[in-house]
Amino acid sequence: MNTLIGGAMLAIAIVLIVVGRPNRDGIQPKFLRFEAALVLYPPIVLSFIGLGAAVLISGLLAN
């Protein structure tokens, strides 16, 4: 169960990274254009990466 949750969290992190990338002209997505998003979005992505990796590794070592 932990491996599934860890994999899902890492998949969510990858989706957040892909969705948050600017286009070829360098224009940010609409939801990242306000100033607070530059402070809030990276820690959310890093939290999903860190917690997902921790849960995935924990699930793999428990079996």
pLDDT tens digits, 7-54: 999 999 999 999 989 889 988 888 888 888 888 999 999 999 999 999
- What is the C-alpha to C-alpha distance for residues 48 and 53, in angstroms, rounded to an integer? 8
According to the model, what pLDDT value does residue 2 have? 84
Looking at residue 47, what is its pLDDT? 96
Would the CA dihedral through 30, 51, 11, 23 be positive or negative? positive
Residues 20, 59 contacting (CB under 8 angstroms): no
Residue 63's pLDDT band, with cuts at 50, 70 and 90, is low
Q: Specify the pLDDT at position 38.
A: 82
Tokens 């959310």 belong to 44
